[in-house]
Amino acid sequence: MAIIVDKVQKKKDIALACKDLFVNNSLKDLTIAKIATNAGISKGSIYDYFQNKEEIVFELLRHMMLEHDEAKECKLKSVTTAKERVKIFAEFFYSDETKELREIYKDFISINLTAPNEHITSFQTECVNRYFNWMCNIIQEGIDKQEIIPKSIDIAKGLFALGEGMFISSSITNTIDDLQKELNQNIETIFSLIEVKK
């Protein structure tokens, strides 16, 4: 009797087995042979599940982001103001807890910019929409609680993009010495303009 393999679970297992390899090495330096050895399977078996190493990055990122989102949701529940929630939202870009995820995310951004495909672009669009809506909800809750002015909803997309833009800039230039400090200063400044004056 043939063994039935859960292909979805096997893809996840292979990607997660390679997490340290991807976190600690440049994608361009990795080969399918290295990845297969690290995952404890044959090179041919990798191709049963992935067309290339970029697809493994995509699979790994997908699972790591799900875990990250669950942790972020719990952390967001622990604070009460919109400003605190926005700061927690921005922690992704500098906290020690998300360092490995950021390394994988950098590879994903690189792939998406240099060799996008429909599947990866669709995933990126889905993520951007999900995080943008999440940010809109945070801002709307602040408006509903009369912490911030109603027009604040118009800057939700900008707040969402602020962290990613500064993260990318700090990753490729030497213009931001302390990303956490810079992001939090920007958030403080924005909120000083949109907070309801009591």
Query: How far apart are the C-alpha atoms of 86 and 183, rounded to whole Å?
Result: 10
Asked if the structure places residue 45 within a domain, the reply is no
Q: Looking at the chain, which runs of residues are DSSP E strands?
A: none
5 pLDDT tier (thresholds 50, 70, 90): low
Instruction: Please give the structure tokens belonging to residue 149.
Output: 């002015």
Are 71 and 97 within 8 A, CB to CB? yes
Give the CATH number, domain containing residue 87.
1.10.357.10
* Domain carrying residue 135: 59-194
What is the percent of the chain with per-residue pLDDT over 90, rounded to a whole number?
Answer: 53
Judge whether 99 lies within some domain: yes
- Distance, CA of 176 to CA of 39 (rounded, Å): 37
Instruction: Please state, rounded to an integer, the average pLDDT across all residues of the chain.
Output: 90
Q: What's the predicted TM-score (pTM) here? A: 0.84
Whether residue 17 lies inside any domain: the answer is: no
For residue range 37-79, list pLDDT tens digits in order. Answer: 988 888 888 999 998 888 899 899 999 999 999 999 999 999 9
Tally of structural domains, the chain: 1
Cα dihedral across residues 43, 47, 52, 54: positive or negative: negative
d(CA 136, CA 159): 9
